[in-house]
Amino acid sequence: QLGNAQLGAMNRLREVKGLPPSARIALAGAYAVAGNKKVAKSLMDKPSKDKKKEEFYDCYGSGLRDMAIELEALTLLGEYDKAATLLRALSAQFVDREWLSTQEIGTTFLAVERFAKATKTAKNGLEGELIVDGQRQSIDTKGNSFSRVVGSNGHRPKVSFKNASSGMVFLTLSETGKPMTHKVGATSNNLTLEVTYADLEGYVISPKLLGMGTEFLVQVRVHNPGTAGRLRQLALNYGLPAGWEVRSDAGDYNGKFVSSPCFFQDFRDDRVLTYFDLNPGETREYYFTLNASYEGKFALPPVECSALYQAGVSASTAGSTVVVGH
């Protein structure tokens, strides 16, 4: 029943031999929520001989995700010192990674948010001293965050913060800037992507200049060259210029333009999202009916396709600009 702990089922699960570490830690968190912290602590303290492995396609698991689950469980148990130590390690891995799965991002944010609430992090405001290249500045704010511009023109300052607040404070140093050019080049990593525009008869056209009200097609071809084996759970993102619209009800024009199968397809105002698998050597084609609806000059975003849970598998087309005229 929703809202009530299923202690019978939890007890049976606890007795399962060879329970994976991630399941054991999640179960410990459930016992903590149910008020049985003694059992929860015994599960957390139980050593594990199993090596953590990536299980993206079986249960969306990874070492980083499991760290986030453990952080949440430690927080629920009230073991904030251990949780803070784990949080630092988790944060270091999180910011150092070039690629993160959606599960890793989601579980990490959830665990950190729960820890911040439980420890009343910066609940009564922030107080302390910000030190930038030796220059000291007092900070006293009622909010739970603050930001300062501390460098310019490529200079990377040395920054530290002395915390005088009642809760924990986390410091992040980020850099922003404008790209040297607005041109976005095409990419291909263990995946190829080809985009073709055509009129409703199938004749190839250029999308760079279209009359307002023109209805046309786009064909997106995604190919797996086989260098990374079978590709699972690919996400194709076709983004539209602001002056175009997509028709989700156009059909396949009596079988002339039939899209390949997919797991799920989401038509939105500004994009179409398509999810599918690709075997080695396989190609899939997806057709969308578009309309040049609004006059003006617009950015045509790159078309992107990548594996949700496999780093190093992605492809994108070059971005450009399009014009919709009278």
Q: Percentage of the chain with pLDDT > 90?
A: 61
Helices 102-118 and 63-77 cross at an angle (nearest 10°) of 20
Mean predicted confidence (pLDDT) in 148-156: 76
- Is 305's pLDDT higher than 90? yes
CB 100 within 8 A of CB 55: no
pLDDT at 60: 75
CA–CA dist 243, 184 (Å, integer): 20
Please name the fold of domain 7-118. 1.25.40
pLDDT of 127 reads 86
Q: Would you identify the CATH topology of the domain 187-325?
A: Immunoglobulin-like (2.60.40)
pLDDT digits (tens, 9 = 90+) for 61-70: 888 999 999 9
Provide the angle, in degrees to the nearest 10, between the axes of the packed helices 21-34 and 7-14. Answer: 150
Instruction: Map residue 22 onto helix, strand or coil.
Output: helix
Which ranges of the chain does DSSP label H, i.e. alpha helix?
7-14, 21-34, 37-45, 56-59, 63-77, 80-96, 102-118
Which amino acid type is present at position 103?
Q
pLDDT digits (tens, 9 = 90+) for 82-103: 999 999 999 989 988 888 888 8
CB of 94 closer than 8 Å to CB of 112 = no
CA dihedral (250, 256, 257, 260) in degrees, to 10, reads 120
Helix (H) or strand (E) holding 286: strand 283-292
Q: What residue ranges do the domains of the chain occupy? A: 7-118, 121-177, 187-325
pLDDT in tens, 251-290: 777 788 999 999 999 999 999 999 999 999 999 999 999 9
pLDDT exceeds 70 at position 55: no
What is residue 42's predicted lDDT score, i.e. its pLDDT?
92
Least confident stretch, 68-77, 79-88, 158-167, 223-232: 158-167
Per-residue pLDDT band at 185 (split at 50, 70, 90): confident
* Residue-wise DSSP of 75-134: HHHT-HHHHHHHHHHHHHHHHH-S---HHHHHHHHHHHHHHHHHTTTTTT-EEEEEEETT
Residues 6+ apart with CB under 8 A from 183: 318, 319
Give the pLDDT confidence score for residue 158 in this predicted structure. Answer: 87
